[in-house]
Amino acid sequence: MPLPERELLQQLRRAVRGTNAVLGIGDDCAILRIPANHEALITTDFSIEGVHFRRGWQSAECIGHRCLVRGLSDIAAMGGCPIAAFLSLALPKNVPQRWVDRFFAGLLRLADRYGVELAGGDTSQSPGGVLADITVLGSAAKGKALRRSGARVGDRIYVTGALGESAAGLQLLTRKKIKRRDVLPQPRIAVGEWLIEERLATASIDVSDGLSTDLAHICEESGVGAIVDAAAIPVHSSARKVVNALDLALHGGEDYELVFTAPKTARIPSRIAGVDIRQIGEITSGKAVRISQNGRMHLLMSRGWEHFRQEDERRNRRR
Amino acid sequence: MPLPERELLQQLRRAVRGTNAVLGIGDDCAILRIPANHEALITTDFSIEGVHFRRGWQSAECIGHRCLVRGLSDIAAMGGCPIAAFLSLALPKNVPQRWVDRFFAGLLRLADRYGVELAGGDTSQSPGGVLADITVLGSAAKGKALRRSGARVGDRIYVTGALGESAAGLQLLTRKKIKRRDVLPQPRIAVGEWLIEERLATASIDVSDGLSTDLAHICEESGVGAIVDAAAIPVHSSARKVVNALDLALHGGEDYELVFTAPKTARIPSRIAGVDIRQIGEITSGKAVRISQNGRMHLLMSRGWEHFRQEDERRNRRR
């Protein structure tokens, strides 16, 4: 059954909840309280059907989850604590109510897990596919938020968890080896908070575009270079099953792990908040981002998920 | 020339600016400082091609302006001071760079006028038309933000400026009487701030969906009814030229004027911050929203801009 905009708006309103931190539900804006001596962190991220997801490839719950995790992961990268999310959602007329219910269920389950209120948003008809834009508000103690710009020569580079799961799934889907796959990454909120509390990290970013691209962002903003050890990259088990596993881990995006740097002398444990931490390289002078593999050194080019998408589109066109 | 996503992202980054209130440019989140003893106000609003605007009907500058004014007006309705805006922008491949430049120019001119920084956002390809989602962050002194829920029986109802300009333009466009029209509403920020400072308003909302719909929101949230005097409604001069002028002023949306209530004893001037203020009715007990016209009383049905759009779509289909 088609879903009129008015009903969608009412569904969003029912999903929106107020707590001590969130007032103004039903008003023109949500009213939010930022903890004393904290700064606000804000991020917005699009999830667009046909660009970021396909309804045929993932469950509605998974699409709702991934819509929110994009924003939560940005908060995690800064070491912040998420407070509230805002969802702008536009639906084409042919989207069944059941799909929308499941989309909200996936999004709200993740929100609950990280103590985030859905505090507002907007709804509209969409003339094309499903369009979602998520805004997440968080906070961090004044002056403490982790930035991309603090990496220094000699710092060690670390990554949380494992890389390549999302890209491996995407590759199998585009090559029609599988029909559906739900990948549900978790935002590394607790790791980011730990890094702020312990004051150990000099720079941090999340792996949304791919390690090669995101590490290059740290280097650009910090005015430094880097060397990554290929053998040290934690490749996700599902990526290890495909031929170009290391490429997926280096360049595949949407893993939502954190990459951070810390001084050589800092004691970074092998697990933080239950998540494996792996040292993968170090910060160098100059501007080049390089990778050492089998005793040889190469430039590590920034090839994010866009690259993969375009390659697979070309492959599909040739068929 | 088509605009690759990477270039669009760089254009957004160039447009993004940092001040004392906005840090973290180039980071995963913007870092923002909320003034001491203030609460954060947040709103998000979609502007979708084919739903909220058409590129053939309005200039790119106008579309950029209207994208931002939607959010600023929500801040104004709460009496807040805007701090920063975030733009999520998705473009189809065929949008010329020149159009995008002019869209940004229109948006940034309005931002400058109200001292708002464009502090971040997201970019994407769009598989359909132009998609923009604006998030605006503002602030108001703790506990002072104007809400929809404070109207009391006997309060007078006021409206700023004049109503019906956007709807009159839309009607002429859909009926093919004119080919293009730029309407550039201003957010009533200074009026909202004045109302907070003087502590005169009991409830407030902006006219985004149409007076009949937005006044009904105040009544619902406040648990009251209202009577509006048809003769007192300030009809915009451009609406007066069309047959159903009062309908446009009552039900046409996107005027971004404020509707507010104040106690009978409050002295509301006829101009606030250079904007005309008109008393249009009063709050009553019960739940009905009524209108008195030529000595007779009718129910005032909530018929927002969606109604107009659907009516005009039916009209166009019949042709």
Q: What whole-number percentage of chain B has pLDDT above 70?
A: 93
Instruction: Please give the ipTM for the structure prediction.
Output: 0.92
Q: What is the pLDDT of residue A11?
A: 86
Q: What is the pLDDT of residue B1?
A: 38
8 Å CB contact of B90 and A51: yes
Residue type, A277: I
Nearest CA in chain B to A144: B31
**pLDDT digits 0-9 by tens, B227-259:** 999 999 999 999 998 888 999 999 999 999 999
Question: Which residues in chain A are contacts of B5 at CB distance < 8 A?
Answer: 306
Low-confidence ranges of chain A (pLDDT < 50): 1-2, 319
8 Å CB contact of A28 and B74: yes
**pLDDT digits 0-9 by tens, B182-225:** 999 999 999 999 999 999 999 999 999 999 999 999 999 999 99
Rg (CA), chain A: 20
Backbone angles phi, psi at B230, to 5 degrees: -55, -40
Nearest CA in chain B to A89: B46
Q: What whole-number percentage of chain B has pLDDT above 90?
A: 83
* B7 Cβ under 8 Å from any chain A Cβ: no
Residues A220 and B113: their CA atoms lie apart, in Å, by: 33
Across the range B254-266, mean pLDDT stands at 97
B122 burial class (0-12, 13-18, 19+ CB within 10 angstroms)? buried
**pLDDT digits 0-9 by tens, A68-98:** 999 999 999 999 999 999 999 999 999 999 9
Domains identified in chain B and CATH numbers: 5-141 (3.30.1330.10), 156-318 (3.90.650.10)
* CA A234 vs CA A163, A237, A260, A272, B129: distances in Å: 6, 9, 14, 15, 40
Question: Which residues in chain B are contacts of A217 at CB distance < 8 A?
Answer: 26
Q: List the 65-104 stretch of B: residues with Cβ below 8 A of A.
A: 73-75, 77-78, 80, 84, 86-88, 90
- In sequence order, what DSSP letters do the residues of chain B get, joined into one string? ----HHHHHHHHHHH---BTTEE-TTSSSEEEPPPTTEEEEEEEEEEEBTTTB-TTTS-HHHHHHHHHHHHHHHHHHTT-EEEEEEEEEEE-TT--HHHHHHHHHHHHHHHHHTT-EEEEEEEEE-SSS-EEEEEEEEEEETTTS--STT--TT-EEEEES-B-HHHHHHHHHHTTS-S---------HHHHHHHHHHT--SEEEE-SS-HHHHHHHHHHHHT-EEEEEGGGS-B-HHHHTSTTHHHHHHH------EEEEE-TTS---SEETTEEEEEEEEEESSS-EEEEETTEEEE-----HHHHHHHHHHHHHH-
Across the range B152-164, mean pLDDT stands at 98
Secondary structure (3-state) at A197 = helix
Question: Which residues in chain A are contacts of B88 at CB distance < 8 A?
Answer: 44-46, 88, 133
Helix pair B165-174, B305-318: axis angle to 10 deg: 10
Secondary structure (3-state) at A38 = strand
8 Å CB contact of B127 and A129: yes
Question: Which residues in chain A are contacts of B46 at CB distance < 8 A?
Answer: 88, 90, 122-124, 131, 133
Which pLDDT band, with edges at 50, 70 and 90, does B17 fall under?
confident
* A206 Cβ under 8 Å from any chain B Cβ: yes
8 Å CB contact of A32 and B52: no
As a dihedral over the C-alpha atoms of residue B164, residue B170, residue B175, residue B176, rounded to 10 degrees, the angle is: 130
Question: Which residues in chain B are contacts of A80 at CB distance < 8 A?
Answer: 29
CA–CA min distance A242, chain B (Å): 28
Residues A272 and A188: their CA atoms lie apart, in Å, by: 10
Which comes out higher in pLDDT, residue B308 or A298? Answer: A298
Give the residue from A5, A182, A3 showing the smallest Cα distance to A88.
A5
**pLDDT digits 0-9 by tens, B76-85:** 999 999 999 9
Answer for the pair A60, A103: CB distance below 8 angstroms, yes or no.
yes
